Chains A and B, each alone.
Chain A
Amino acid sequence: MNFSLSEQDTEIRQLAQKFFGTECPLLQRASHEELSRDLYRKMGDVGLFGIMVPEIRGGSAGTRFQAGLIAEAAGSELVPGPWLEHLWAIEMLLDVPDTKDGQWESFIQAHQLATIFFPPLGEASELWYSHEEQRLRGQISRFSFVEHTDLWLVAVPNSDAVDILEISPDLPGITLSTVSSMDPLWRGAFVRFDQVKAKLLTILSFEQYENLLANGSDLVSMAMYGAAQRVLDMTVDYLKTRQQFGRTIGSFQALKHKVSDLFIELEHAGSLVYAAAGSDDRAMQRRWSHMAAIEMGRVYRHAAESAIQLHGGIGFTTSLPLHYFLKNAWTSGWRAGSESYHQKWLMKEFGLDYGDTAQERPTAFKSS
């Protein structure tokens, strides 16, 4: 048992922090929202996207946890765009045997950017795929970063497995309309598929698919952890400099206690996040992963809300990037499954769900 980062982990973490701190610094960059393909190519050049890819395919054969450390660093600078979806897509493609070498190179180098639509099981799907005709019809009401990517991976659950489709955005039969969101860092669209010729990439069992979701969820949780730590750092810095009543406001106990609470919450939620991302025991990873998604989501939101309160009036303005964190805290939390999805899974895991009997219960106004 050893919860320490290895030397290699530490190196990758420092490299990623330094890279984003130089190339995409939150407090110095001209635009917080603009998605720069140039930045993505640089990320490819330093090997951030190839982290989990075997060396034989041009990657650095790192671990899932190391990909998480990159997500943590990207989260702390609020890097715009589909970097997380792209990493997640690459992780998914690792299990697809017939991906060509040339394709790997273009993903790792970010010449081609991918995004994903991997909804949690149990949510009503509005997509239908015909294996015979290889045609997709239906709609996705909120599809992340479709306008900025070159390849879409879409999961279509059916009664006994999940089809993973590869879709090129320029195929006939696709119509898009942009959806605006309270989070300017999230870009997405409503997408309709009208008998679109989509390639069936692979078929995953429910278990394989849920493992894939858990892996993505761990990337999201690591990104949220990075962001929440940044929010805390910014707040502590502000409390050390702002003067009122002739004193540094950080000397007031009421504010000390609020900021200590954030530290305490982060310390514990962060441990869950690291354990989930670092575990190679599937059963434990699934548990920790769902817990981390719920807890880190809650703690990140709380940190962002408290940060605005602790900054006072300036916190409510767009002069500081705090509002991005607040908005991102909500959209991130839903990037890999809703809170209900994670909670339901855990209720079942711990035997706390009502099971089938819930349906036998009387409704509010009519007894059965």
Chain B
Amino acid sequence: MELNETPEEQHFREELRAWLARYVPEVQGQNEPGAISNSQGEYARRKRFDQLLYQHGWAGLTWPKEYGGRAGRLYEQLIFAEEAASAGAPEIFNRLAIGIVGPTLMRFGTPKQKARYLPKMLSSEEIWCQGFSEPNAGSDLAQLSTRATRSGNHFDVNGQKIWTTLGQYADYCFLLARTSLDKPRHRGITALMVNMKQDGVEVRPIPQINGSHEFNEVFFTDVLVPEDNVIGEVDGGWEVAMTALSFERSTNFITRQVRLTWELDQLLNYAREHRREMTAGLLEELLQITISVTSLRLAVLRHIAALEDGRIPGPENNASKIFWSETHQRLTSLALSILGEKAFVLGDGRVTPDWAYAYLSSRAESIYAGTNEILRNIIAERGLGLPR
């Protein structure tokens, strides 16, 4: 067990920090890191940052070298997230492509598909979204009913997706559709790459309780998808989807706790200054959350070590997703309790972080990427071996 950074890791951190100090000011906007606004300016700014990363060799940190990545360690990804957050850098815009779709394509794609799509994911020339959930297939994903019907060497896609992050910007969608009705429901699904900039694709933003509309509904009406765009086998999409979800769940946990730590630091600073106006109860709750955040970070380090050792991921990252989202909800509630009316004002820039936005946004975190209830079932069934 080595809990200090090696000279190589420190070097990586310093080099990255210097680079961020040089380039982040070029793309600094009014929004905080991570917050998504829908303005075109915001879109341009974030895409520009992705491209800067690409030009200077920072894109695809953990992608293999043969696909243009840096073949870095997971721990370097954590360093990247920490340094990017403290430099105020925007979140990686094409994160679904780089974190989920790309690695899935590396596993299941044909050489031709890889050569066509991977480079443009890495350079953020093409932005990707993911079309999994539907109005009647949320937690129960295998219930999905978007149809892809073969006609000649095309599929004709009809249906509706929901909660599509980045849908309004995306050039391509990694879509799950039903290709067979007469097979068991898990075996009639196919993964397709769908061009979003074509007739028949309609994106409608969903107004959210935090005032943002990060999520979208996407409607597909007689959308033509060439058969060359099938990932893996026709009717073999469930396996592709499960692999994609495992990438999502194995990398997300690295970055999401970084923002939480940053917010905690801001509240600690505020509390230090104003502690004499605060009750002991509030201060103790803040300490308790500090303990939770510290333990989350350490659990993430332990999990990274397990993955780097090549151990098969167990239920630990589901545990961390639940713990992270619930700790963030506690933190943002406490921030509102402590700051009161000062924090209720939405995004006037006078309070940093924007606690009201963070509080409202945090309510989604126990719902997306697997509701915490579903994840608790997964821990009990697949982790602890309890019967279904």
Contact = CB atoms under 8 A, between A and B. Distances in A.
B387 A2 contact: no
Contacts of A269: 295
A326 interface: no
Contacts of A6: 1
A256 B377 contact: yes
A301 to B, nearest CB: 15
A271 interface: yes
A267 interface: yes
A354 B271 CA distance: 11
Contacts of B385: 236, 240
Contact of B299 (A253, A261, A267, A278): A267
A275 B305 CA distance: 13
B272 to A, nearest CB: 4
Contacts of A1: 2-6, 9, 75, 301
A2 B306 CA distance: 9
A352 B275 contact: yes
A9 B305 CA distance: 15
A347 B320 CA distance: 25
B1 A3 contact: yes
B278 to A, nearest CB: 9
A3 B302 contact: yes
B305 A4 contact: yes
Contacts of B272: 350-352
A35 interface: no
B3 A278 contact: yes
Q: Which of B291, B292, B320 has the most CB of A within 10 A?
A: B291
B316 interface: yes
Nearest to A6: B1
B286 interface: yes
Interface string B1-41: 11111100100000000000000000000000000000000
A4 B309 contact: yes
Interface string B263-277: 000001001100110
Q: Which of B75, B296, B298, B305 has the most CB of A within 10 A?
A: B298
A256 B299 contact: no
B231 interface: no
A278 B1 contact: yes
Q: For chain B, what secondary structure do more than half of its interface residues adopt (helix, strand, loop), or is it mixed? A: helix
B294 interface: yes
Given A256-B386, A272-B291, A354-B275, A3 B3 contact: yes
A240 B299 contact: no
Contacts of B301: 1, 3, 271, 275
Q: Which of A274, A281, A352 has the most CB of B within 10 A?
A: A352
Contacts of B380: 250, 256-257, 259-260
Interface string A324-368: 000000000000000000010011001111100100000000000
A4 B73 CA distance: 15
Interface string B298-340: 1101101110110000011001101100000000000000000
Nearest to B271: A352
B323 to A, nearest CB: 6
Interface in A291-305: 291, 294-295
Nearest to B78: A1
Interface in A106-127: none
A268 interface: yes
A270 B302 CA distance: 10
B373 interface: yes
Contacts of B4: 1, 280-281
Given A3-B305, A267-B319, A236 B384 contact: yes
Interface in B216-267: none
Interface residues of B, number: 51
Contacts of A267: 299, 316, 319-320, 323
B323 A264 contact: yes
B187 interface: no
Nearest to B324: A268
A314 interface: no
Contact of B284 (A250, A263, A343): A343
A251 B380 CA distance: 9
Contacts of B383: 260, 263
B12 to A, nearest CB: 11
Contacts of B302: 3, 271, 274
Interface in B363-388: 373, 376-377, 379-381, 383-388
Given A1-B6, A257-B376, A260-B379, A275 B386 contact: no
A164 interface: no
Contacts of B304: 3
Given A4-B306, A65-B1, A250-B386, A260 B295 contact: no
Interface string A235-271: 0100110000000101101001101110110011111
Contacts of A291: 291, 294-295
B115 interface: no
Contacts of A143: none
Nearest to B76: A1
A197 B319 CA distance: 55
Given A3-B302, A268-B319, A295-B291, A257 B373 contact: yes
A41 B200 CA distance: 79
A288 interface: yes
B377 to A, nearest CB: 6
B283 interface: yes
B283 A264 contact: no
Contacts of B306: 4
Given A236-B384, A346-B287, A351-B272, A2 B377 contact: no
A4 B90 CA distance: 32
A351 B274 CA distance: 11
B283 A352 contact: yes
A251 B291 contact: no
Interface of A: 1-6, 9, 65, 236, 239-240, 248, 250-251, 253, 256-257, 259-261, 263-264, 267-272, 274-275, 278-281, 284, 287-288, 291, 294-295, 343, 346-347, 350-354, 357
Given A275-B301, A346-B287, 19 more contacts: A3-B302, A3-B305, A236-B384, A240-B387, A256-B376, A256-B377, A256-B380, A259-B380, A259-B386, A263-B319, A263-B379, A263-B383, A269-B295, A275-B298, A280-B4, A295-B292, A351-B272, A352-B275, A357-B276
